A and B are shown apart, each in its own frame.
Chain A
Amino acid sequence: MAKSDVKLIGAWPSPFVLRAQIALNLKSVEYEFLEEALGSKSELLLKSNPVHKKMPVLLHHDKPICESLIIVEYIQEVWASSGPSILPSDPYERAIARFWAAYVDEKWFPAMKGILGAQDDEARKAAVAQVAEGLALLEEAFQKISKGKSFFGGDHIGYLDIAFGGFLGWLRVIEGMGGIKLLNETETPGLLKWADDFAAHPAVKDVLPDTEKLAEFSKVVIAKLRAAAAAPAK
């Protein structure tokens, strides 16, 4: 398959784009990465995702697929015969993986954004507590789901590793910012080890953004989130 048959519209700091990249790497799919200029949206992005105008967008034979987790399932289905399965084969295990991925997106990620956008120490503390609470749930889930293996997906990286792991760079940035260890030996021993294994995985290590570079970039994000919180609602 020609490289130009598969294109990914994205940007290096995005945890959602990272999910798509990891999935493509797991399936050894060659693709063209169309990097969006930060702060502006290309014609192609707007045309390919008119509903949400967001990245990532996977373009396969010029047909767009949007929403990171939907893209990951699509990649698994199209390149099913390449590499291990991203989703478990058992329907119940699939439902559990999808449940926790949805939890990460709907509950945990907003709490993470809450830390970055916090206007004062009190707000930040509250947001950190929420993130920690979420990590406790994810640790429990990890213990149950991994069954003693390295990843949520068992021996191999799977859907939930990708869904949660997309945020690893940002998690490390937030830890650095506050001098807090959100992943630690006492509260999240499983996830602590998982994080290292995940970051070192061949499908991940070359695309996981460098923590320092991300920390520098986070200043832009923080400014935006704070401005949005301070501005009156539309």
Chain B
Amino acid sequence: MADEVVLLDLYVSMYGMRVRLALAEKGVKYEYKEEDLRTKSQLLLQMNPVHKKIPVLIHNGKPICESLIIVQYIDEVWKDKAPLLPSDPYQRAQARFWADFIDKKLYDAGKKICTTKGEEQEAGKKEFIEILKVLEGELGDKPYFMGERFGFLDIALITFYSWFHAYETLGNFSIEAECPKLISWAKRCMQKESVSKSLADPKKVYEFLVVMYGL
């Protein structure tokens, strides 16, 4: 029986991109459905009644929600190709820890940059850079976060790269100037077809934010 895979998503969502990226890494064919967050589809409300959010992966009719949970699910189901999580339990715990760190901190700091001005925006920029510097420290001199192979933690973070142009423009600062090693890593990731195919066009992200926040 052929697998039926549907993804409810939003083109500019860095969380949705993580799922697209995981599916691309595994070579999984799926149907993409773009949601309009102002008028959520019946399908979305039915498949994610608790949070009513994208992304939602629907596999043979059954929904899986929350981007990092979806990525782990994809890794476990399509386990014969491109493993995303390392096999060592300690390394896995580290990958999960840092992905959780990204989810707890990065979006909110970025949002401050987009939606505030003056002192508050400066505070947001400072926080944002601090978070990226911690992550840069974790990366060290490795090509990817867990070592030689692109994986879970790279997926968790690289999708935010498509929002950097928007953050830089709205915050009037250069992320590369502050975190050159992280930007090298990002460019390295972008050389992978799965990544360049799955990330949104940074200009479209910027346009989206301008409309969403009425900037």
Interface residues of chain A, those whose CB is within 8 Å of chain B, are 51, 60, 63, 65-67, 70-71, 73-74, 77-78, 91-92, 94-95, 98-99, 102-103, 137
Contact = CB atoms under 8 A, between A and B. Distances in A.
Nearest to A137: B50
A91 B76 contact: yes
Contact of A67 (B70, B76, B97): B97
Nearest to B123: A234
B90 A60 contact: yes
B92 A77 contact: yes
A73 B69 contact: no
Nearest to A50: B134
Contact of A99 (B65, B93, B96, B134): B65
Contacts of B70: 95
B97 A77 contact: no
B97 A95 contact: no
A103 B93 contact: no
Given A70-B100, A95-B72, A63 B90 contact: yes
Nearest to A91: B76
A74 B93 CA distance: 6
A147 to B, nearest CB: 16
Interface of B: 50, 59, 62, 64-66, 69-70, 72-73, 76-77, 89-90, 92-93, 96-97, 100-101, 134
A99 B65 CA distance: 7
A67 B73 CA distance: 20
B72 to A, nearest CB: 7
Nearest to B95: A70
A91 B92 CA distance: 17
Contact of B100 (A67, A91, A103): A67
Contacts, number: 52
Contacts of B89: 74, 77-78
Given A91-B73, A95-B73, A98-B72, A74 B92 contact: yes
A92 B100 contact: no
B101 A70 contact: no
Contacts of B77: 91
B126 to A, nearest CB: 13
B90 A98 contact: no
A73 B50 contact: no
Contacts of A103: 50
Contacts of B59: 92
Contacts of B76: 91, 94
A92 B62 contact: yes
Given A51-B101, A91-B76, A94-B76, A102 B69 contact: yes
A228 B22 CA distance: 41
Given A94-B73, A94-B76, A98-B69, A73 B134 contact: no
A99 B101 contact: no
19 contacts: A51-B134, A67-B96, A67-B100, A70-B96, A70-B97, A73-B92, A73-B93, A73-B96, A74-B90, A77-B89, A78-B89, A92-B62, A92-B73, A94-B73, A98-B66, A99-B64, A99-B65, A99-B66, A137-B50
